[in-house]
Amino acid sequence: MVSNKYCKLPARFAYEPVSAYATLYSSCESMGEWCTIRVSDDGTKFIFAKPTGTPDTPPITERDKQAGFYLGLSGLIIGLPNIPEIDTPVPVITCYDLACRNCYDDYGTALPMKLREGGEAHCSRCRRTYNLNNAGLVASGIEGKPLYRYRVYYGSNKLVVSNP
């Protein structure tokens, strides 16, 4: 049985220059580095955050608004896994939804998970921990499905998440 590793949920985000913000840049360039992308409560800034340190908060520009963006169910997780997937010779930039897929599928809950050091995302509701460096699979807790994954491109100092 062949399964598609990308979900069918909509997600759309484009940002350049990635190098302007260390949090986002290191997550796109350094293996094993991950960050979340969310929108501030007042809707005026993007928040690029790692598990520790001060987040970067670039303003949402008129250009961003016109281009349109949709950060999945509760935000995005962006990074470069520290090991390549079975079907690829080198690690490639990866994007997951910040919502726990199992809680969303089972209960319709899209609460954001917590990003942890070492490439993990933890859901406080169901207590599952996901390994971002291993295809978003459940690493601890109750067995379950891997995280929702989105199509992503990174090159020429530009990050683009584009999922139908």
The half-sphere exposure of 73 on its side-chain side, counting CA atoms within 13 A, is 24
Mean pLDDT of 8-22: 96
Position with higher pLDDT, 164 vs 9: 9
Over 60: is that where the pLDDT of 2 sits? Answer: no
Q: What is the pTM of this model?
A: 0.95
**Rounded distance, CA 136 to CA 120, Å?**
9
Over 50: is that where the pLDDT of 153 sits? Answer: yes
DSSP state of 20: G
**Rounded distance, CA 145 to CA 105, Å?**
9
With contact defined as beta carbons under 8 Å apart, do 163 and 9 qualify?
yes
pLDDT for 1 = 41
70: domain range? 12-163
Residue 38 lies in a domain: yes
Q: What is the pLDDT of residues 92-114, one digit of tens each?
A: 999 999 999 999 999 999 999 99
Q: What is the CATH number of the domain that holds 148?
A: 2.102.10.10
Query: What would you measure as the largest C-alpha separation in the chain, in angstroms?
Result: 45
pLDDT for 87 = 82
Mean pLDDT of 50-66: 95
**Rounded distance, CA 66 to CA 40, Å?**
18
**Rounded distance, CA 17 to CA 11, Å?**
20
Residue 53 lies in a domain: yes
